[in-house]
Amino acid sequence: MLQFKTISPTAMRGLTAWDWPGNIRELENFIERAVIITRGKSLEAPLRELERTNTIEFPNANQHEVDQVAGERTNSPNDKTSIADEYERKQRDEIIRALTACKGRVGGTDGAAARLGMNRTTLLSRMKKFGLYAKQYA
């Protein structure tokens, strides 16, 4: 199970500055993406995604901090596509790591779903989406 000890001040400012027009579902999805991309003990948030969907300004955060939290800076015309592709790649890699560590076991207390902090059915759906099969990692 992933545990975070802190959330970066820049990420917190970005999260509180955003008005979350998509209600709690938007926030839940955003936090889920943040958990997937975070490596380490401090939660990192992909604030560049918020910046692209609105003209939000992050108080007391310079552009370098926002880029650093996002983990990369993209300037191509296909930024939204590249962010989505990167997110899916990271999600797929995380599932593969969990399946490998759990020797292909999906459910149960020592399965990949529990390790990723999601329901077994959710993991199975994502595995199907990415063309992954548990037997490949047994």
Q: Could you report the per-residue pLDDT of 25-77, keeping only the tens digit for each?
A: 888 888 888 888 777 778 777 777 766 554 444 454 555 555 544 444 344 44
Region 1-73: CATH code: 1.10.8
pLDDT score at 76: 47
**Dist CA 4 CA 42 (whole Å):** 6
- Output the pTM of the full model: 0.45
CA distance to 74, 91, 107, 124, per residue, from 104 (Å): 35, 17, 9, 12
Per-residue model confidence as pLDDT tens digits over 73-103: 344 445 556 777 788 888 889 999 999 999 9
Asked whether residue 125 carries a pLDDT value surpassing 70, the answer given is yes
Q: How far apart are the first and last CA of the chain?
A: 20
**Dist CA 68 CA 42 (whole Å):** 13
Listed by start position, the domains of the chain span 1-73, 76-138
**Dist CA 124 CA 48 (whole Å):** 29
**Dist CA 90 CA 96 (whole Å):** 10
Q: Helices 79-101 and 23-37, interaxial angle, to 10°?
A: 60
pLDDT score at 50: 67
